[in-house]
Chain A
Amino acid sequence: MLFLSRIADLIEALAQRHRLLPWLLAYALLLTLPFILSTLFNDYLIDLANRACLFIMLAVGLNIVKGFCGQVTVGHIGLYAIGAVTSAVLSLEPGGFGGALGFGLSVWVSIPIAVIVTAFAGLIVGLPSVRLEGAYLALATLGLGESVRIFIAVTPALGSSTGLMMIPAPSIGSFVFDSFTSYYYLVMTAAVVGIYFSFAILRSATGRAFQAIREDTIAASVNGINVMKYKLLAFVLSAIYAGLAGALFAHMPPGYLHHNNFTVIEMVTLLLMVVLGGIGNVWGGVIGAIVVTIAYDQTKDLVVYFMDRPIVIQPLVFGLSMVLLVLFMPRGIGGWFEGVRRNRRFIQRSEEKLGDAARNS
């Protein structure tokens, strides 16, 4: 704990020198991760790191709408699906396998279009938030999210039950991002930039407006905040994260996606990341995404036998963890860490004051 706090102090000291210094340092360290993972372990872990980066983007984006702005949404995976399928279909060659739609666009074109499409979808998911709150909003967004998945599942042009295959990988000249390691640099960069922007939003009038809405909608409107506009903006921003994560997922090796990637279980997993990290806490969300991605990987084949029937217990484990977290650690890892640091700073400042007073007397 003290160690973590020291690191946080160190980062603050670096940031004093130049705002971007901690970011560049972190980025440089992250560049070496594939070598460390493949040397110490194996390439599979790089794939896991890639998936963690996608979930970091999802969690950080979800935090904007849920954590900053306080709007309950459980349709986020639907947006992720829209980003993935849109970019896949736009980049696939026409007349592809199994009647899948294809437009043959460059991946560098299909990804931005997918992000824009998802942003619009986010606006639609956000519309119920103008009238609904809490559990009602959760149900509305869940409905929208699930209907996206079902639509994909029954539409052959979007892969239906076979899924979309041979989705092209991005390339620059003759270099193709089709290995775990090369793709890692793409998703890791996107994740770092995403985290950076999320802080930029949080620490601006925009972020303060989101939080004011979360804390007290009426007070926020009386403080001059256009509540409807900012709610929708939060949904759109978080959809941009989901859209980019989805699109990057589609083109990630092996270039295959299936509607099973976008189920309610995925949604629960994502929520678990945000809750574990601490709702509204950016770094918490990042840590939550990493921890839960690893936990997900470790438990996905876990079965117990009940009356000689194998039962996959991962959903049970995740659901239970969620309940326990909400009950016993509602502020998650991030909230707890913040509290500790705030107290430390308060004590430090009081001591400085006492010191000053002693010197002055």
Chain B
Amino acid sequence: MTLLETRNLSKSFGGLQAIDKVSLKVEQNTIHGLIGPNGSGKSTFFNLLTGVYQPDDGSHINFDGVNITNSPAHAIAGLGLARTFQLLRLYGELSVLDNVMVGYHPHTKYGPLAPLFNGAAVRRQDKAVKEEMEELLEFIGLADHAEIPAAELSGGQRRLLALGRAIAMRPKMLLLDEPGAGLSPVNVDSLMSTIMTLKERYNLTIVVVEHILKVVMTTCDTISVLDHGQKISEGTPEFVKNDPAVVEAYLGREMADEDIRAAMDA
């Protein structure tokens, strides 16, 4: 079953066509990779899907059978589409526990004024949510830091928290924007295995943007390649790896860089 589908998705910033008529399908329960050189529009694509940016006219986005093309971000989140940000965007002054509690927001069962009129119900539900979130923190290995402000975590812990906050939303689909950025290779591997476990545990469909090609090639079922806002290739890792268009646009450039470096070293 197709969980997410875009048709002719476009976004321009002034004269710059950041996303150019991208049509793409993500099947349920798969891991879908999204790769492309810097500035090719990967983050913009996520921003369009999650309602952070409004797409240009003629675009169409469908998530889980609902047309979300012009829906506001909070409504899209409520449908079960969660994401992480390339720059994390944690709630720095809030505790680690509160960060994931905010993630749980779409499932809050009481109204915003309940604290004034029905304190007992609020306390009862918050206690249950807190226990659930502490379990989640335990699982991602941040339980010991539950009371610390997010800003005081280490880089790797911050990445884990960003992941935890998205998982707390109990989403159907999770968009990960460079989850491994800035981590050492060992840590990237352990992060990826955490992500795989979370996928099984919570029955997730994942779209992941990642620069470390080895990671993408080994974990993804399908890969789409963006270049200058256009989708230039799509298929299995094996297919994409050998697609001349990809080699030209992406791998080629990287190899050229390596050639230059090799030449300089010599």
Assess the A215–B94 pair: CB atoms within 8 A. Answer: yes
Chain A residue numbers with a CB within 8 Å of B103 are 223
Complex Cα gap A201–B122 (Å): 10
Most buried by A among B74, B93, B113, B169: B74
- Report B-chain residues with C-beta under 8 Å of the C-beta of A229: 112
Asked whether, in the complex, the Cβ of B112 is within 8 Å of the Cβ of A209, the reply is: yes
CB distance from A283 to the nearest CB of B (A): 17
In the bound complex, residues from chain A placing their C-beta under 8 Å from that of B113 are 206
Interface magnitude class on chain A: 20 to 34
| A225-B91 CB under 8 A given contacts A200-B122, A342-B147 | no
Contact B116 A197 (CB under 8 A): yes
A200 — which chain B residues lie within 8 A by C-beta? 115-116, 119, 122
Contacts A208-B102, A215-B93 given; does A223 touch B110 at CB 8 Å: no
| A211-B106 in contact given A222-B73, A223-B77, A227-B74 (Cβ < 8 Å) | no
Q: Is the pair A224, B74 in contact by a Cβ cutoff of 8 Å?
A: yes
**Across the interface, do B102 and A220 meet the contact criterion of CB distance under 8 Å?**
yes
Residues 23-48 of B contacting A (Cβ, < 8 Å): none
Using Cβ atoms and an 8 Å threshold, which residues of chain A touch B83? 222
Contact with B along A213-240 (1 / 0, CB 8 A): 0011011111111110110010000000
B73 touches A212 (CB 8 A): no
Which of B72, B90, B101 sits near A219, CB closer than 8 Å? B90
Q: Assuming the A-B contacts A201-B116, A203-B126, A233-B112, are A221 and B98 also in contact, with contact meaning beta carbons closer than 8 angstroms in the complex?
A: no
State the Cβ distance, B88 to closest chain A Cβ, in Å: 9
CA distance A226 to B112 in the complex (A): 11
Q: Which of B91, B122, B147, B169 makes the CB contact (< 8 A) with A216?
A: B91
A230 to B83, CA, bound (A): 21
Which A residue's beta carbon lies closest to that of B149?
Answer: A342
Please determine whether B85 and A219 come into contact, CB atoms closer than 8 angstroms: yes
* B82: chain A residues within 8 A (beta carbon): 222
Interface code B62-92, partner A: CB below 8 Å = 1, 0 otherwise?
A: 0000000000111001100011010001111
B105 x A205 contact (CB < 8 A):
yes
A145 close to B (CB within 8 Å): no
Q: Is A207 an interface residue (CB 8 A)?
A: yes
* In the complex, number of A-B residue pairs with CB atoms less than 8 Å apart: 105
A300 in contact (CB, < 8 A): no
Tell me if A298 counts as interface (CB < 8 A to partner B). no
CB under 8 Å from chain B, chain A span 55-81? none
| B105 & A204 in contact (Cβ 8 Å cutoff) | no
Tell whether A224 pairs with B77 under 8 Å between CB atoms, given A205-B105, A211-B91. Answer: yes
Q: Is the CB of B52 within 8 A of A221?
A: yes
CA distance A361 to B73 in the complex (A): 51
Q: A197 to B89, alpha carbons, bound, how many Å? A: 29
Residues of B within 8 A of A207 (CB): 115
A204 contacts which of B89, B93, B106, B114 (Cβ < 8 Å)? B114
Closest to A342 in B: B147
Q: Quick check: B119 and A205 within 8 Å, CB to CB?
A: no
CB-defined contacts of B112 to chain A, threshold 8 Å: 205-206, 209, 229-230, 233
| Contact B108–A221 (Cβ < 8 Å) | no
Kindly state the separation between the CA atoms of A226 and B105 in the bound complex, as whole angstroms: 10
A205 touches B52 (CB 8 A): no
A208: B residues at CB distance < 8 A: 94, 98, 101-102, 105
Residues of chain A lying within 8 A (CB to CB) of residue B52: 218, 221-222
Instruction: Give the docked Cα–Cα distance between A205 and B89 (Å).
Output: 19
Contact B115 A204, beta carbon cutoff 8 Å:
yes
Residue of A201, A206, A345 with most chain B CB atoms under a 10 A cut-off: A206
- Cβ of B6 under 8 Å from chain A: no
Give Cα A200–Cα B114 distance, bound, in whole angstroms: 9
What separation, in Å, do the CA atoms of A229 and B111 have in the docked complex?
A: 12
B165: interface (CB < 8 Å): yes
Check A222/B126 contact, CB under 8 A, given A204-B115, A208-B101, A211-B94. Answer: no
User: A112 CB to closest chain B CB, in angstroms?
Assistant: 15
Q: Given A204-B122, A223-B106, 7 more contacts at CB 8 Å?
A: A204-B126, A205-B108, A208-B105, A209-B112, A215-B94, A218-B89, A222-B51
Between-chain CB contacts (< 8 Å), 9 pairs: A200-B122, A208-B102, A209-B112, A211-B93, A212-B94, A212-B105, A222-B77, A223-B105, A224-B74
In the A-B complex, the 5 residue pairs with the smallest Cβ-Cβ separation, listed nearest first, are A224-B106, A224-B77, A215-B91, A221-B73, A219-B89
